[in-house]
Structure 1
Amino acid sequence: MKKFMKEWGLFIFIFAVIGLSRLFLWQFVRVDGHSMDPTLANNERLLVLSHTSIDRSDIVVASEEEDGKKKIIVKRVIGLPGDTISYKNDVLKVNGKVVKEPYLETYQKLFKKDKLQSTYSYNALFQGLAEKATAFTTDANGSADFTITVPKGQYYLLGDDRIVSRDSREVGTFKKKDIIGEVKFRIWPFNRIGTVQ
């Protein structure tokens, strides 16, 4: 036994530390869908850290219920507990102050150019949604001018591809317990490996 522990003890210890940290501190998640385009693409693999503080503009993984089943989603934090969020013609205000959203610039320009018809050429449903949209960010009823106050202890999450994202505009705010962790690193595909902003 002594010989075994001398030869394998360090390996077993490292394996146990990795296993326990995987259980409580981090996990891998796959992006499912196009709601975070172009920041994150469908099928990309991400490293998610649990137990981090949640700030505005962070990309997080959350759990939601859809048709009675739990589903893992990746979205961006727009509103913190108690915030008043308002949009008017694609300008975000948080508690009365304008907040820039540089991660939306690419798709906002394409929306102004041709309502994303070229970008969404792979999906007729997306083209239809974009064609009807009055702005890049609208509420669930299609209004480009809307305001919401985030309840205490909850978070307002939106996808970066606002035209096709199913998020807090439709399903409501998310409780802290529903947020699994913060996306920190893209691990696949290899040509896009690196930190996520």
Structure 2
Amino acid sequence: MAEQKSQTWEWIKAVLIAIGLAVVIRYFLFAPILVDGVSMMPTLHDQNRMIVNKIGYKVGEPQRFDIIVFKATEEKDYIKRVIGLPGDHIEYKNDVLYVNGKPYKESYLDQYKKEATDGPLTYDFTLEEITGEKTVPKGKLFVLGDNRRYSKDSRTIGAVSIKDVIGKANFVYWPMEDIHMIKKPQ
């Protein structure tokens, strides 16, 4: 009888430890997220399921072209690409991104640019024209969806506070045919 109680107690401890580890991993390290919409096409597809790395930005800062998840409203998280970092001047001209006057190639948009026969994928603008700021404010990020024509991003919601960033999108795990690590463009 004592041996059975001991074995039962060991099972209970193992289950409690497993639940505790799952909670710690889920809330502090990594979290699943569902892509809701087409604003990140062609990189991410509607209904993709992803893993978000929550610890990466606890030890480092977001980098240009990272795909991040952030708290957009109390009940809604957005997934977008970091284009501008604090202090950056952002401009789009003739479908080319300029950061601090330097042109950047956005290879993840090549397919969409070829298909966009009715005008540019990203319309011309400067940061100042759409936000009233000459540079991305301190503690903020300028983010865009990859599907530039159909994305609610910093062009409409303004710069995103770094404090609202939940984490970096690292891995698509569902559906099976879309499984891949998210790589930063060169």
Q: Which amino acid aligns with 1:171?
A: I
| Counterpart position of 2:78 | 73
| Counterpart position of 1:9 | 13
| Counterpart position of 2:131 | none
SS at match of 1:20: helix
After superposition, the C-alpha distances for 1:102-132 in whole angstroms (9 at most, x for unaligned) are 1111101111xx33xxxxxxxxxxxxxxxxx
Alignment of 1:1-197 (within 5 A): 1-53=5-57, 54-65=62-73, 70-111=75-116, 114-115=117-118, 134-138=119-123, 144-148=124-128, 149-197=135-183
Query: 2 CA distance for matches of 1:135 and 1:147?
Result: 18
After superposition, the C-alpha distances for 1:85-104 in whole angstroms (9 at most, x for unaligned) are 11111111112222111111
What RMSD, in angstroms, separates the aligned Cα atoms of the two structures? Answer: 1.7
Q: Give the structure-2-normalised TM-score.
A: 0.84
Query: 2 CA distance for matches of 1:70 and 1:49?
Result: 20
- Structure 1 position 8, deviation (Å): 4.6
After superposition, the C-alpha distances for 1:139-160 in whole angstroms (9 at most, x for unaligned) are xxxxx14244100000001000
SS at match of 2:27: helix
Query: 1 CA distance for matches of 2:86 and 2:44?
Result: 25
Query: 2 CA distance for matches of 1:70 and 1:16?
Result: 26
- Structure 1 position 7, deviation (Å): 4.0
- Structure 1 position 2, deviation (Å): 3.2
- Structure 1 position 11, deviation (Å): 4.2
Instruction: Tell me how many residue pairs correspond in the alignment.
Output: 169
Moved more, 150-159 or 20-29: 20-29
Query: 1 CA distance for matches of 2:47 and 2:6?
Result: 46
Q: Which amino acid aligns with 1:44?
A: N
Structure 1: gaps (5+ residues): 116-133, 139-143
